[in-house]
């Protein structure tokens, strides 16, 4: 009997080969189907663009909105359907209207899956300053070269074709494009935002160079405990330069504290808000709120979270309150010995009369003397001519002066009449 070993080994090996080939076929098939789906996606995009353009055509521009190629309120109708902002809807309508009207062959290429939506966008952006005639020439030149190996190469081909078709218009196009310069803020995730700027190319490069130079200098001379990355330093430097922020002068912030009034001084885990941004985590809100330059604005909310009232008066921040209570260690009414830690922080010139929430306009007043100074019939007049020095004029015209705590002699100044 022949030993079967050899043929078993051979058939094992061929089974392994078959399995590997089947696996490769499976992957090949998957990649093929991804390609087919990408082409179908492009065709679906083309279909959507045609519908959007048709809609724009049914809402023609009126004389009131010469800048639009369609009625300026049409995006609001579309926004509801797409569940996007009216600005986004308007942008999509404008793109669709322009692509369908001016780039018919590129639209066909999108339908056939030769181009994808991003490539069509690059082309449409590149031809936006051109006449219809020039646009048609650019379209022809670009499409003759196919989709290119990636989107960057396709975009570059679009710009080259524009330069080719309209070399003389380059300066004018640049001037026109640069009129659209802007800075925009895009709220992001987890207490970050993106600040973006469309700038003349040389200005953008100058800013970038400057950030690099400053970052190089900081990296060369910094302490060991400055562990920031180069990107972080560049970002910090940008903010420092625009706002004038320094370690000694942090950014002021009008923190909107969404809390019941009882929690105001404790500031628990409730999120705060930066106006125009939205909620931020409690520990970041706390850091902002504790800065000496920050003011607080109370937002009273009901148990379901609906806003009841935004205080028109800004509350002194804890840092301001600490400063005022250390400067004047008791209620500043002449003769009152109530410790400052058990007082209100009073605006010397009332907030309602334009008095700012800064320490030179703040002083500790106990509840009784708070009421006394605002007495409707017999008011006392209070001034703060110097930080921490208060002059009082009684209803009968007698004047008193109260001085701040003297940290050299340790004495409490006595009121002088
Ligand atoms: Zn008092």
**pTM, to two decimals:** 0.55
* pLDDT number for residue 191: 78
Ligand 1 midpoint to CA 287 (Å)? 32
* pLDDT number for residue 310: 62
Ligand 1 midpoint to CA 183 (Å)? 51
Ligand 1 midpoint to CA 333 (Å)? 5
Residues ≥6 apart with Cβ < 8 Å to 23: none
For residue 128, CA distances in Å to 94, 105, 181, 318, 381 come to 11, 16, 16, 54, 67
Ligand 1 midpoint to CA 266 (Å)? 24
Burial of 294 per CB tally in 10 Å (0-12, 13-18, 19+):
buried
Ligand 1 midpoint to CA 410 (Å)? 21
* pLDDT number for residue 158: 95
Ligand 1 midpoint to CA 295 (Å)? 25
Note the pLDDT tens digit of each residue in 94-127. 999 999 999 999 999 999 999 999 999 999 999 9
Burial of 408 per CB tally in 10 Å (0-12, 13-18, 19+):
exposed
Ligand 1 midpoint to CA 403 (Å)? 14
Instruction: Report CA torsion sign: 63, 66, 72, 75.
Output: positive
Ligand 1 midpoint to CA 398 (Å)? 18
Ligand 1 midpoint to CA 340 (Å)? 9
* pLDDT number for residue 263: 41
Ligand 1 midpoint to CA 365 (Å)? 6
Ligand 1 midpoint to CA 341 (Å)? 12
Ligand 1 midpoint to CA 391 (Å)? 14
C-alpha 388/C-alpha 413 separation (Å) is 11
Ligand 1 midpoint to CA 337 (Å)? 7
Ligand 1 midpoint to CA 109 (Å)? 82
Ligand 1 midpoint to CA 378 (Å)? 16
Residues ≥6 apart with Cβ < 8 Å to 209: none
* pLDDT number for residue 407: 79
* pLDDT number for residue 258: 54
- Let me know: does 406 contact 391? Beta carbons within 8 Å: no
416, two tokens: 């002088």
- 255 pairs with which residues across the strands? 296
C-alpha 357/C-alpha 349 separation (Å) is 10
Cα 217 versus chain centre, distance? 28
* pLDDT number for residue 265: 41
For residue 67, CA distances in Å to 61, 63, 96, 199 come to 9, 9, 16, 23
C-alpha 191/C-alpha 283 separation (Å) is 11
Residues ≥6 apart with Cβ < 8 Å to 55: 74, 78, 93
Ligand 1 midpoint to CA 397 (Å)? 19
Residue ranges of the chain whose pLDDT lies below 50: 259-268, 415-417
For β-strands 254-258 and 295-301, DSSP reports them as: parallel
Instruction: Give exposure, 202-231, as e/b (b: 16+ Cβ within 10 Å).
Output: eeeeeeeeebeebbeebeeeeeeeeeeeee
* pLDDT number for residue 174: 83
Ligand 1 midpoint to CA 355 (Å)? 21
255, two tokens: 């923190």
Ligand 1 midpoint to CA 292 (Å)? 26
Ligand 1 midpoint to CA 345 (Å)? 12
Ligand 1 midpoint to CA 293 (Å)? 27
């Amino acid at each position: 009997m022949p030993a079967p070993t050899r043929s078993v080994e051979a058939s094992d090996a061929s089974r392994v080969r078959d399995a590997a080939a089947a696996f490769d076929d499976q992957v090949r098939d998957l990649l093929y189907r991804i390609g087919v789906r990408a082409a179908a996606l492009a065709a679906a995009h083309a279909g959507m663009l045609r519908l959007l353009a048709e809609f724009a055509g049914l809402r023609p521009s009126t004389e009131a909105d010469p800048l639009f190629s369609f009625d300026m309120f049409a995006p609001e109708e579309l926004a509801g359907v797409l569940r996007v902002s009216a600005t986004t809807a308007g942008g999509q309508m404008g793109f669709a209207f322009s692509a369908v009207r001016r780039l018919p062959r590129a639209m066909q290429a999108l339908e056939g899956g030769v181009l994808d939506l991003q490539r069509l966008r690059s082309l449409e952006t590149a031809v936006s300053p051109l006449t219809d005639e020039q646009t048609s020439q650019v379209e022809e030149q670009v499409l003759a070269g196919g989709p290119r190996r990636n989107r960057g190469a396709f975009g570059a081909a679009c710009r080259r074709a524009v330069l080719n078709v309209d070399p003389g218009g380059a300066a004018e196009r640049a001037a026109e494009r640069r009129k659209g310069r802007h800075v925009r803020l895009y709220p992001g995730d987890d207490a970050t935002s993106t600040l973006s700027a469309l700038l003349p190319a040389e200005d953008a490069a100058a800013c970038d160079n400057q950030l690099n130079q400053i970052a190089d200098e900081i990296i060369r001379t910094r302490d060991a405990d400055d562990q920031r990355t180069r990107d972080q330093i560049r970002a910090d430097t940008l903010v420092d330069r625009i706002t004038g922020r320094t370690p000694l002068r942090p950014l002021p912030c009008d923190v909107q504290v969404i809390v019941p009034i009882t929690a105001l001084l404790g500031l628990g885990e409730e999120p705060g808000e930066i106006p125009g941004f939205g909620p931020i985590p409690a520990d970041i809100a706390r850091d902002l709120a504790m800065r000496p330059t920050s003011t607080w604005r109370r937002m009273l909310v009901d148990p379901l979270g609906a806003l009841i009232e935004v205080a028109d008066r800004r509350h002194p921040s804890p840092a301001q309150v600490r400063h005022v209570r250390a400067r004047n260690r008791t209620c500043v009414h002449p003769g009152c010995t109530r410790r400052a830690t058990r007082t209100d922080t009073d605006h010397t010139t009332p907030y309602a009369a334009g008095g700012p929430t800064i320490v030179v306009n703040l002083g500790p007043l106990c509840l009784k003397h708070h009421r006394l100074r605002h007495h409707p019939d017999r008011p006392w007049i209070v001034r703060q001519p110097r930080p921490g020095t208060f002059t009082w004029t009684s209803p009968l015209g007698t004047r008193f002066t109260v001085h701040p705590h003297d940290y050299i002699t340790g004495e409490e100044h006595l009121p002088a009449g």
